[in-house]
Structure 1
Amino acid sequence: MSQHHISEVPVEQREIGMLAKHREHIIDQIDELVKRTKYLELLNECQRHGLLSPGMCQNIKEYTPGRRNENEEDLLLERHRQLFKKLTQRGPRAYETIISVLESLDCKEAANVLLSVDSGSFVSLREANKSRRPGMTVVDEGVTTEGLVLSKVSKESKYQYLNPNEPLVPYTKPVQNSKRIVKKSDKCHEDAVTGTYPMCSQYNRGVLFMVNIIDFPNPGVIRNGAFKDGEELIHLFREIGFTIFPYINLNKEQYMRILKELTSSQYVENTECFVMVLMTHGNRVNQIDRAEFHDGSIAMVQTEIIAHFQASNCRKLANKPKILMFPFCRGPEPDKGVETDGRSAASPKPTAQPKRNIPTLSDSLVCYASTEGFETLRDPDTGSWYIQKFCDVMAEYAHNTSFEDILKKTQSLVQNMRTATGHLQTGNYKNIGFNKKLYFNPGFYK
């Protein structure tokens, strides 16, 4: 068997995160800062300045420490403290922005507390915006890591795909500047042990439903660079032979309506595979993953989106492979990794539990760009780490490699990337009754 090789992209060297001395100073002085500020007033002003997204603010408002018999006053105090802790997770310029926020609220004593750590550290927002370096890595959690309002509308919002208010029609226009060459198959691959999902049709190979949320009510959380991800995905799946339905900047109502319409339409009647990619800001609150839409509305990933693909809701997709991709943050924490001695534990073997009836939800792979509780990373110029590496691997390997191995290779490449401060990202996926091998077989038809 021939060996293939993907050249490793150099490790990221772009800075992310607040300076350690600033972060530690806020934590050390948190009681003093709480004493000299008003909780709701500060929360709202942080959102207005783009330090926090609406979703982040809502998470803070709903924060519950978990202690019993917590009275309302103590609960508000803990949320006030949580607000400052959250601010330490913003970007390199967030510290200066916080000082500007405090001064705008006339909380000069609190501002002086922050200024005291190094008197020369403060610069105006205008100067901070001027000094922003092109291509600086940002976090896909609802705010740039700079913590600055960059613009009211993204530089990419002028681009549109399908109109959500018009009937379903596949997107056939060319994409811009995609240089990836997708290797083609010379046969229809099969696996005699597990079985293989049929993927050799010329006209019904698959359907891609791609939703890319770039702009939000808060202008500080624009996902610059995300359009590049969308273009690459369209190019990739078009080369594989999929029918493409891409949308930009949907609200929740539009997204759910189109999802239901598409999964019950003639386009999936005979399709061999269905792929959905939802690119947006996300978070995880009370162990529940959430996705944010163009108008700030929120959907619960498990109960509102994944649950839609149950056999009772999607009869036309029953027994067909379904790939659901959620490449957004699943929490506020940067993944700093841990030191290891190099040894690894053996993975437990899954126990097969065959059922006679059709499972409620099966033949599904749910793919995440990060693990629970952690953020994802995106380059404003070239796109997100996960989607760009996914497209690289698909273009190079989809002609002879099963999809789960594609995901493993993608995760491995992303996991080897680092920011200048050592932050990383670990993707994962969940197999829900996806019991056969899936080969995309680009360019080969029976």
Structure 2
Amino acid sequence: MEEERERERDREVGMKQKHRQHIMRNMDKLIKYTSYKDLVAETVRRGLISPVMRRNIEDLNEKGHSMTEEQVQVELLRKYFVKITKRGPTAYAELMAILRSLGYSEALRILEEMDPQGSEIPFLSLSRMHSNKSADIVDTCLSDPPVEMPSVSNVSAIHNDADGPLVPFEEPVQGKQRIVVKSTRIHTDDITGTYPMKSQHNRGVLLIVNIIDFSNPGLKRKGAEGDGDSLIDIFRQIGFKIFSYKNLDQRQFFNTLSALTSSQFVRDTESFVMVLMTHGERAGEVDRVQFSDGSLADVKAIINSFRSDLCPNLVHKPKVLIFPFCRGDNPDHGQILPKVMRMRIQTDGVPFDNVPTLSDILICYASTPGFETHRDTEEGSWYIQKFCDTMAEHAHDRPLEDILKKTHSIVGNMRTKYGHLQTGVFEGLGFNKKLYFNPGFFVSD
């Protein structure tokens, strides 16, 4: 089934004919000047081909048993270059970048004969969007072996002490400053109803867990430092109490989550928001996240921490869980629509003794299942930064789901330098009312 989908994708987004023909004409030379092992590893790392595609390339069936090592190398490279010709209109430019990064100057020179600067390669970007300079950094777990944890002095300082008392974080933060537009009234909706958000001192609790450093220093999430500061800045202006933590291991995370949701802060609050920023992956149909000690936990286990029997302080209150990590290692190359479709799609209560096990929960993901998310090494996560921009502009007059839709629309128009994109998604578990934050306006306490 996966191979069939792969073939279908290849048919839909093939390389330009002149580039494909140039590769095929020069196949022998390209094979001569490259090494399969290094080439395929870098290509998978960059996302031009997936691990499944790599396995298909390396499946030589019975033919491989009768071949010499040199013949195997030649066959693998041949299959590799054929596959690259089917990987979309930007694949030629991406292959040039890969050859350049590996120092394969002779092979690169061959491709430059057709495109000296890659000037005719379609580059899917919006020049007006500042963050399009992203270097295609993704928040997905890598397969590097763990190495010794750096000393504490080399690890980013934590905001709150995970093993200390629960104290709201009130220190100043750095980074981009936004001004949240204030509400002029408490918003309501007569059709769906709204979650009460009118308290002056107990508007909400925000839990931020930003894991930047890991037991393997190679997994450091560069650029993520500013994401936590941006969230703190926005939610402070809305009136939330902030609990911010960095570099938690799995034990510290679940202990902190349990302690906070059992606390008076949460018992008195009108709403709860949690943002967990780290590396993520998808194994089978299961989303998993990585903690600073290298351990993994199922996202479902985190969601289940908010079950009504385990978290009674938040029953009937809105619980927003934001997961901006990868949900797989596949880059989203997008799809090139057939011409006929492009022409068509032009844009000018009664009390009860029991409650649902999981309810009033909105789960927000930065990508769809199986795909990567992107993070700028200077400015931070695409998703978090655009979410903060939209919150500042619209938290005063639009419900959260509208804010998320606009965030997804903005992020959906961004591209990495390789043309990769990202699609956000959210799902509600009994999240049946509208959530307005009503910043700056209150009618109680």
**Common fold: TM-score over 0.5:** yes
How far apart in 1 are the matches of 2:386 and 2:229?
A: 14
Structure 2: runs of 5 or more not aligned: 1-18, 57-64, 66-75, 82-86, 112-132, 346-351
Contact 2:135 2:416 in 1 (8 A): no
Determine which of 321, 335, 340 is the counterpart of 1:338.
335
Contact 1:143 1:222 in 2 (8 A): no
Give the CA deviation at 1:218.
2.2
Structure-to-structure mapping, 1:226-265, within 5 angstroms:
226-265=224-263
Which residue number corresponds to residue 136 of structure 1? 135
Give the CA deviation at 1:257.
0.7
Letter in 1 for 2:309: S
Per the alignment, do residues 329 and 275 of structure 1 end up closer, same or farther by CA in structure 2, a change over 3 Å counting? Answer: same
Which residue number corresponds to residue 379 of structure 1? 376
Give the CA deviation at 1:270.
1.5
Structure-to-structure mapping, 1:86-97, within 5 angstroms:
none
Per the alignment, do residues 357 and 376 of structure 1 end up closer, same or farther by CA in structure 2, a change over 3 Å counting? Answer: same
Matched, 1:412 2:403: no
Contact 2:214 2:294 in 1 (8 A): yes
| DSSP-derived class of the 1:360 partner | coil
Give the CA deviation at 1:219.
2.1
Matched, 1:310 2:307: yes
How far apart in 1 are the matches of 2:278 and 2:370?
A: 16
How far apart in 2 are the matches of 1:120 and 1:252?
A: 49
Per the alignment, do residues 187 and 420 of structure 1 end up closer, same or farther by CA in structure 2, a change over 3 Å counting? Answer: same
| DSSP-derived class of the 1:309 partner | coil
Matched, 1:223 2:221: yes
Structure-to-structure mapping, 1:55-134, within 5 angstroms:
117-118=107-108
How far apart in 2 are the matches of 1:174 and 1:142?
A: 31
Paired positions, count? 349
Give the CA deviation at 1:159.
3.9
How far apart in 1 are the matches of 2:95 and 2:324?
A: 20
Which residue number corresponds to residue 278 of structure 2? 280
How far apart in 2 are the matches of 1:294 and 1:92?
A: 35
Which residue number corresponds to residue 176 of structure 2? 178
How far apart in 1 are the matches of 2:231 and 2:193?
A: 27
| DSSP-derived class of the 2:305 partner | helix
Letter in 2 for 1:136: A
Matched, 1:359 2:356: yes
Which residue number corresponds to residue 124 of structure 1? none
Letter in 2 for 1:241: G
| DSSP-derived class of the 2:198 partner | coil
How far apart in 2 are the matches of 1:326 and 1:156?
A: 26
Give the CA deviation at 1:338.
1.1
Per the alignment, do residues 231 and 93 of structure 1 end up closer, same or farther by CA in structure 2, a change over 3 Å counting? Answer: farther
Letter in 2 for 1:213: I
Contact 1:155 1:224 in 2 (8 A): no
User: Share of identical aligned residues, percent?
Assistant: 49
How far apart in 2 are the matches of 1:338 and 1:155?
A: 46
Give the CA deviation at 1:423.
1.3
Give the CA deviation at 1:336.
1.1
How far apart in 2 are the matches of 1:218 and 1:166?
A: 26
Give the CA deviation at 1:222.
1.3
Give the CA deviation at 1:312.
1.1
Q: Deviation digits for residues 209-244 of structure 1, max 9, x if unmatched?
A: 100011112222211110111100001011100010
Q: Deviation digits for residues 258-314 of structure 1, max 9, x if unmatched?
A: 011111111101110000000011111101101011111101001x10111111110
Q: Deviation digits for residues 370-412 of structure 1, max 9, x if unmatched?
A: 0111101111111111000000000000001101101111101
How far apart in 2 are the matches of 1:156 and 1:178?
A: 24
Determine which of 431, 435, 438 is the counterpart of 2:435.
438
Q: Deviation digits for residues 96-134 of structure 1, max 9, x if unmatched?
A: 77x69xxxxxxxxxxxxx78744799xxxxxxxxxxxx9
Letter in 1 for 2:137: V
Give the CA deviation at 1:356.
8.7
Q: Deviation digits for residues 133-186 of structure 1, max 9, x if unmatched?
A: x96341222469xxxx9xx79999434301112111110111114320000011
Structure 1: runs of 5 or more not aligned: 1-19, 66-73, 75-80, 101-113, 122-133, 345-354
How far apart in 2 are the matches of 1:326 and 1:297?
A: 17
Which residue number corresponds to residue 188 of structure 1? 186
Per the alignment, do residues 96 and 209 of structure 1 end up closer, same or farther by CA in structure 2, a change over 3 Å counting? Answer: same
Per the alignment, do residues 370 and 92 of structure 1 end up closer, same or farther by CA in structure 2, a change over 3 Å counting? Answer: farther
Per the alignment, do residues 95 and 212 of structure 1 end up closer, same or farther by CA in structure 2, a change over 3 Å counting? Answer: farther
Which residue number corresponds to residue 209 of structure 2? 211
Greater percentage in helix: 2
Give the CA deviation at 1:94.
6.5
How far apart in 1 are the matches of 2:97 and 2:203?
A: 47
Contact 2:239 2:440 in 1 (8 A): yes
How far apart in 2 are the matches of 1:252 and 1:377?
A: 24
Per the alignment, do residues 238 and 91 of structure 1 end up closer, same or farther by CA in structure 2, a change over 3 Å counting? Answer: farther
How far apart in 2 are the matches of 1:159 and 1:250?
A: 11
Letter in 1 for 2:320: I
Letter in 2 for 1:334: P
Give the CA deviation at 1:437.
0.7
Letter in 1 for 2:278: T
Matched, 1:429 2:422: no
Letter in 2 for 1:437: K
Give RMSD over aligned pairs: 4.1
TM-score (norm 1): 0.68
Contact 2:96 2:108 in 1 (8 A): no
Per the alignment, do residues 91 and 250 of structure 1 end up closer, same or farther by CA in structure 2, a change over 3 Å counting? Answer: farther
Which residue number corresponds to residue 296 of structure 2? 298
How far apart in 2 are the matches of 1:291 and 1:208?
A: 20
Structure with max Cα Rg: 2
